[in-house]
């Protein structure tokens, strides 16, 4: 715990750089991270469970709850969901290509 990961994302046509710190890690089922640098507060939780076809990964992203973030929540949620879906499809394609 305490390790930091620097990420770059493209969101609403803009580049976003941020740093996440590992807040909880319980392999093989949980990775929990919180932002320590970036344009908005974030809390990202990954959970992993065995599945007949491999591993089921769940990702939950929570942001700030004040002002702008509360008003923009529906739009932001849709954008985040779309970005995560694309990222997971890209990852699946790469893994299938290797295997």
Question: 18-41 pLDDT, tens per residue?
Answer: 999 999 999 999 999 999 998 888
Copy the structure tokens of residue 46: 């990954």
* pTM over 0.85, yes/no: no
- What one-character-per-residue DSSP string does the chain give? ---EEEEEEEETTEEEEEEEEEEEEETTTEEEEEEEESSS-EEEEEEEEEETTEEEEEEEEEE--SHHHHHHHHHHHHHHHHHHHHHHHHHHHHHHHH-
Write the pLDDT tens digit of every residue in 82-99: 877 888 888 889 988 986
Tens-place pLDDT, residues 36-79: 998 888 899 999 999 998 889 898 988 776 666 677 777 777 87
Inform me whether the pLDDT recorded for 15 exceeds 70. Answer: yes
């Amino acid at each position: 715990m305490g390790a930091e990961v620097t990420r770059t994302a493209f969101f609403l046509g803009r580049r976003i750089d941020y740093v996440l710190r590992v807040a909880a890690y319980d392999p093989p089922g949980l990775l929990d991270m919180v932002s320590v640098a970036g344009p908005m507060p974030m809390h990202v939780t990954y959970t992993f469970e065995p599945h007949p076809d491999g591993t089921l990964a769940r990702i939950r992203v929570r942001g700030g709850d004040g002002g702008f973030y509360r008003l923009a929540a529906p739009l932001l949620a849709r954008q985040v969901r779309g970005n995560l879906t694309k990222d997971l499809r890209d990852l699946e394609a790469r893994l299938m290509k290797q295997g």
